[in-house]
Amino acid sequence: MSHHDTLLLTPRDWQGNPPYKHPAYKSSVLRSPSLPLVPVKAALGNRLAPVYGSELLGASDHDLTSNAAKNGAPIGERIIVTGRVLDESGRPVRHTLVEIWQANAAGRYVHKGDQHDAPLDPNFLGAGRCITDDQGRYRFVTIKPGAYPWGNHSNAWRPNHIHFSLFGQYFGSRLVTQMYFPGDPLLALDPIFQGVPEHARDRLVARFSLEATQEGVALGYEFDIVLRGARQTPTE
């Protein structure tokens, strides 16, 4: 058996991830597979992901409070979101691309499909990216996103959240997920969050960090992301 036929990644922990079909989350009924999944060869899971270097990033790509500013600062509570990206063995994933997108402080995305009756912020795009450092750490400066109605059921509101997209080292470690905030009362009512097995839900909730807080500027939150293994961050 060659190196490429050996499974370098352990099987994904499906017990810690939401099911493809979760009827309370109405969109999942139409999006979920209707036929059994087709296993892929180990070589495909081991295929290396694209490499993105810091030379491709702008100096303010990580700072959502300035990367789209036109005539002032965006409106809202400034926050810092930081953490480490780890592999299934708990080792840092160095120099890997981390991308985020989110609603603004009023709970609206800069997207033509979002027609929520809330104001857009001319100085806030709601998207950013950065490369992890030698310790696997990333850092974003942004605005705390607002809650918004989403029509899944009567009086449905999404909790405050930030979307994350990562590749890691392999296509098999690809992860798209969401980060939530501690103490949000909407978490108990949200079908997407509740669709994650109970024992794994805390992996999606950031923790307040005074250490990451910048005095007089922004509150800090820590959110570590594990790409595979028993402590994997659940998928979106």
Catalytic residue annotation: 109, 148, 158, 161, 163
Task: Return the structure tokens found at 93.
Answer: 């994933």
DSSP string for residues in 18-78? --S--TTSHHHHHHS-SSPPPP--HHHHTPBPP---GGGS-TTTTBTTTTT-SSSPPSS-E
Question: At which residue do the structure tokens 């080792």 appear?
Answer: 91
Residue 188, Ramachandran bin (φ over 0: left; ψ between -120 and 50: alpha; else beta): alpha
Q: How many CB atoms lie within 10 A of CB 15?
A: 9
Q: Give the 3-state secondary structure of residue 191.
A: helix
Give bridge partners of residue 138 from the DSSP assignment.
Answer: 83
The helix (run of H) or strand (run of E) holding residue 192 is: helix 191-194
